[in-house]
Amino acid sequence: MTIEIDTPRPTATAPDADATAPPRRRTGRWIDHWDPEDTAFWESTGKRVARRNLAWSIFAEHLGFSVWLLWSVTATFLASAGFAFTPQQLFWLVAAPNLVGSLIRLPYTFAVPRFGARNWTVVSAALLLVPTALFAFFVQRPDTPYWVFIVIAATAGVGGGNFASSMASINFFYPASRKGTALGLNAAGGNLGVSLVQLFLPVIVGGAGLFGLVAASGSIHLERAAYVWGGLALVAAAGAFFFMNNLAVASSRPREQLRVVRYRHTWIMAFLYIGTFGSFIGFSAAMPLLIKINFFNQPTPDVVGIGINVASFAFLGALVGSITRPFGGWLADRFGGARVTVASFALMTIGTLAVLVTLTRLTPVPKVDPTTVDPATFTYPDAVRSAVESNEQVFWFFLAAFLFVFAASGMGNGSTYRMIPIIWKVRAEAAGPEGSPERGAALVQATREASAVLGIVGAIGAIGGFLIPMTFGAPWIDDPVAAVRSAFAVFAGFYVVCLLVTWAVYLRPGSAMSRARV
């Protein structure tokens, strides 16, 4: 058996290739025959090609997540860069990329079968240059209107679409027995992009970071972040162009994929994924601002602030959630996805209530009139310093509870994604007795539909990344701290609803889903 992979121009399909393999449709790095379920093919050629594509897919998706969440930590430095935005406006800047990122996940999913995995990775990586270039230009101009920043932040949403196309791409490269590991690595590598941008951006722009190992430089240069991640995007685009492949067999029609919107399980799983992944990405985006609003005090950008340094802790939430995602999938394989998902929502409820309790223990910090502050002579009043120091003691309980929520949401991300193919398999098995043509056809159709559901669920679930920051920045509440407390109470109630829905639909005794250990 032969395979064509690295040819720069069209060539004839090997005579002994599968006769049903689609003909080469375009020039470039297209693979005409791909059969990872063939053990001999996989060991001789497929494994090496798949691993190379996985590596560059992870890198491109990782950068997509980094650019997507670029504003989550940038928002905490805008005041130091000369921008006078309110907390509500900052939460809007954090939320805008998440809304766009969720909306474009569907077209990104359909782009892989239409244009090819390698081709679309090149395009999607190159598109990251748009938000980074706009970012670099306008963050150096403090007189830029706020609405312009909203538009610029929204363009960062293209990074959120990379997850959908990357997962769709890798799904075709690996055999069924290895898909879980490959997709888990791909997803975790992407999620880590959130954590690393929140860890390294403060250091790159001149702020303090790395747990105090790096001191602030005295001036903030936000444009440096755009230069770094824009440059890495070019590397990702070049790497995909030279080292990735398109698969001719990875074809499907959007109309067939969209047919799954008629099934109630598609919407139930999308609802649950809002609770798991929506919480992960929403809390990741909002965590830096939450720390700054509740545990840091700085009356003017010219005065050295006191309290908790955002740069030292903001990245931990996304890091913990990324690490626990594969663990959630592993637990789902052993005990069933629905059981792990119920446990995740229970833990998220407990953790969210614990966060809420810590916020009720905060000491109100007296306001300092910024018009009376002279940076050369200003010292914090004793009442302000005492309140900030008291809140620093509360912070450690807040951080522990919040990381607990992140860990539980990461587990839920892995378990909910594992549930989807099992749900569709159970539905297909009801089409006829074992071994019947009806069941066989239904199982083939279920595999295609499950892939489409993964894309749709991922797109809808990401909307949580928009809703959570917007709830924290509720415009109808004047006090930002009060808005945050109200938001956590709402989230706790939502997780209880998600828990009950999961149990009623997938764990209710006697149901087919429960017997199949969905």
- Give the model confidence (pLDDT) of 339-348 as tens digits: 999 999 999 9
Q: How many CB atoms lie within 10 A of CB 395?
A: 18
Look at residue 474 and tell me whether its pLDDT is greater than 70: no
Position with higher pLDDT, 234 vs 165? 234
Domain extent at residue 449: 254-366+383-518
Give the pLDDT of residue 512. 76
pLDDT bucket at 50, cuts 50 / 70 / 90: very high
Same domain, 85 and 180: yes
CA dist., res. 135 & res. 156, Å (int) = 9
Same domain, 128 and 78: yes
Q: What is the CATH number of the domain that holds 441?
A: 1.20.1250.20
Q: How many CB atoms lie within 10 A of CB 86?
A: 12
9: region left, alpha or beta (phi > 0 left; psi from -120 to 50 alpha): beta
Same domain, 183 and 303: no
Q: Are 129 and 70 in contact (CB under 8 A)?
A: no
Look at residue 403 and tell me whether its pLDDT is greater than 70: yes
Give the pLDDT of residue 80. 79
CA dist., res. 25 & res. 196, Å (int) = 39
Same domain, 258 and 279: yes
- Tell me the pTM: 0.81
Q: Are 26 and 248 in contact (CB under 8 A)?
A: no
Place of tokens 């990702």: 236
Q: Give the helix, strand, coil percentages of the chain, each rounded to 5.
A: 70, 0, 25
Give the pLDDT of residue 211. 59
Mean pLDDT of the 216-226 span: 79
Place of tokens 């706020």: 146
Give the pLDDT of residue 117. 86
263: region left, alpha or beta (phi > 0 left; psi from -120 to 50 alpha): beta
Same domain, 432 and 470: yes
Same domain, 178 and 91: yes
Q: Does the residue 114 lie in any domain?
A: yes
Nearest-10 crossing angle of helices 87-103, 158-173: 30
Same domain, 266 and 245: no
Each residue's pLDDT tens digit, 62-88: 999 999 989 988 888 888 788 888 878
CA dist., res. 368 & res. 299, Å (int) = 6
Handedness of CA 178, 316, 98, 474 (dihedral sign): positive
Task: Name the nearest CA neighbour of 348 among 401, 396, 394.
Answer: 401
Same domain, 221 and 292: no
Look at residue 138 and tell me whether its pLDDT is greater than 80: yes
pLDDT bucket at 195, cuts 50 / 70 / 90: confident
Each residue's pLDDT tens digit, 296-334: 888 877 777 888 888 778 889 889 998 898 888 888 878
Q: Which of 128-132, 347-351, 381-385, 436-440 has the lowest mean pLDDT?
A: 436-440
Q: Does the residue 18 lie in any domain?
A: no
Each residue's pLDDT tens digit, 238-292: 999 999 998 887 666 667 667 788 888 899 999 999 999 999 988 988 888 888 8
Same domain, 210 and 317: no
CA dist., res. 192 & res. 199, Å (int) = 11
